[in-house]
Amino acid sequence: MDAPTGPCDLHLHSHYSDGTMSPDELVGFSASIGLSAVSITDHDTMNGQAEALEAGSRYGIEVVTGIEFSIDDGGASHHILGYCFDHADAALSEALVSLAAQRIERARGIVRLLADRGMAVPFEEVLAEAGKGSVGRPHIARVLHRRGYVASVPEAFSRWISDGAPCNVPKTTLPLDDVVGLVRGAGGVAVWAHPGWNVKKGDLLDRFVAAGVRGIEVWHPNHSERIVEAIAAAARERGLVMTGGSDYHFAEIMQADIGEIAAPRGSLDALRREASGGSH
C-alpha cells in the first residue's frame, strides 16, 4: 500500500470541549472526504482522544493526538496546540484534571455574580448545557438566553460575561513554560496556534521558540493569504513545523468546514519527526 498523501485537518473540536460532533463523527466524516489524517484538538481536555484513535483505525484514516491550551503572556492571550503526545501521560492528565476543576470554579463564580444582579442561573442547567463538554461561558450564555435575561447569546456575552464585562471571572490559564513542558514531557510537540499578525510582534515568536515551541499554525480560517505568507516565512527562517486546520466547532459558527483549511501531508510527517526526537 502506498503511503498516504492527502491533506490533513489538524485542528478540530469535538463535543468534549465546545464542538457539537463526537470524535467518531469527525473522524468518519474526515475519512469520507479523503483527508489522510486528522487531529482533535479540544480545549484543555484529552477526553476524546481514545475514541478518535479507535475511530481512525475503523475508518482507515490516521489520527494524531491533539489538544489546545490557552496561555496568558503578560496580559495577552495566545493558544498553544499540542500534538503527537501520549494521551495516557500521567502528568498531563493530572494537569488537565486540575484545569477542569478550576473551570468549574470559574463558572460557579460567574453564576454567583449573575445572581447578585438578580439573574438566577441554576448551576445544574449550566452543566446540562455543557453535556460531555467542559463547562464554560457559552453554556452560561445559553441559560441566560433561555431564561429571558438577554435577547440573544451574543448579548449575554457583551452585556454580562465577556472579558471585562461586569459578571466575568477571568479564566485560569497555565504559563507558556508549563504548557510546553507538559506537552513535551508527554512526548509531544508544542505549536503556536493561529498567531495571525502577532507573528510579527516583537520577539514574541522567538520567546515561544526559546520556550520549546517547535511548530506554528500557518493555515487557519482567520489567516489571509498575506498572513499565511508571513507565517510561512517566519517558520522557514526558524525551521519550525508548519501546521494547519479548519478549527471546526459546529456548522452554525464555522468559518471553514472540516478539511476546507488543511495542512499538506508533509506537515504531519514533520510533526512526527519532531516528536520522535527532532530533525533540527
Interface residues with Zn ion (CB under 5 A) are 68, 79, 193, 247
Contacts of 134 (CB under 8 A, 6+ apart): 16, 17, 18, 42, 43, 44, 45, 100, 103
**Which residue, 9 or 68, has its beta carbon nearer to Zn ion?**
68
CB of 116 to Zn ion, least distance (A): 31
By beta carbon distance, the residue nearest Zn ion is 79
**Which residue, 9 or 247, has its beta carbon nearer to Zn ion?**
247
**Which residue, 17 or 36, has its beta carbon nearer to Zn ion?**
17
Shortest CA distance to 235 belongs to which of 266, 261, 277?
Answer: 266
**Which residue, 62 or 217, has its beta carbon nearer to Zn ion?**
217
Q: C-alpha grid cell for residue 6?
A: 492527502
CB of 104 to Zn ion, least distance (A): 21
CB of 141 to Zn ion, least distance (A): 18
In angstroms, the CA 44 to CA 140 distance is 18
CB of 80 to Zn ion, least distance (A): 9
CB of 276 to Zn ion, least distance (A): 25
Task: Report in angstroms the alpha-carbon separations of 81 from 40, 59, 190, 271.
Answer: 10, 25, 6, 12
CB of 26 to Zn ion, least distance (A): 13
**Which residue, 44 or 247, has its beta carbon nearer to Zn ion?**
247
**Which residue, 4 or 198, has its beta carbon nearer to Zn ion?**
198
Contacts of 174 (CB under 8 A, 6+ apart): 69, 71, 95, 99, 182
CB of 43 to Zn ion, least distance (A): 7
**Which residue, 80 or 84, has its beta carbon nearer to Zn ion?**
80
